[in-house]
Structure 1
Amino acid sequence: MRTAFDFSPLYRSSIGFDRVFDLLENASRATTTVDNWPPYDIAKTGDDDYRITMAVAGFSQDELSITQEQNMLVVSGQKSGEDTGEYLHRGIAGRTFQRRFQLADHVKVTGAGLENGLLTIDLKREIPEEMKPRRIEIGNATAMPKVAQRKIEAEKQAA
């Protein structure tokens, strides 16, 4: 059973979260047939460092492509030529693939490598200085200028 959520009431009380609600709506529309090839791992290697490792056996560097567009990382592979050999069993998949990873804000690809059939992609979250939390010093009350207080008196009328 599939349940549709209506996020429109949340739009009224939030500012700048439109993209998050769109992602939630798109995730709820995802089909149940998920392609799980090629297999991959995502590991956190540091406070702001991540690594994606994909098993791409049979693909060379020339047959793989990695593209980052805003908050989307696209890894695709396409075999350059068709192998016409006669196989008794063919278990190593060499089909074309495209795997998409949704990246958080300020996550950048720092490097990629292919070794022993494993493609590794290193990612780093680099938050700009102006967006990092900063500590605000609290000054002494004596150092602050005094604000003059006004007294307002109501006139009393005799009855």
Structure 2
Amino acid sequence: MSIDHLSRPGRSPGSTTFYNQRGVAVTDQWLVVGGRRFQIAELDHFERARGPMSSPVRAALLIGVAELVVVAPVAFVFSTPAAWAIAALTAAAALGGMMFAGQRWPASFQMWADYRSRPTLLFETGNEQEFGQVSRALIRAIERGRRSPHR
């Protein structure tokens, strides 16, 4: 996606592009994400966050807790080496399932700001590298806007 269409008519001569890849563009005047445009000068209280836990991770956590709730009392009641071994293996399997789900379906990375005085999700991705690049570009754009005398 090219950002030439953003403000070609009346585009200021010193406009700087900080990032322009995969449908996301950050200039000193605009943040464009998937066709949505946000004016940099109208962004306040910029924050980076992690999204909610994904459904598969939540399910793995719930299953793991349910397994432990069933197996732990059995191990305490029978208190034999075999019962403790089964409890330990069940705990290891539950932990492994949760770790696998967390790696496979991690929480998304999000950028939020008040845009025109409303909390707004500006950008969200599961790609940590892309998130870092876009957030650094947006921080540079916001900082440049604050230093600009005509803000």
TM-score, normalising length: structure 2: 0.21
Structure showing greater radius of gyration is 1
More helix, by proportion:
2
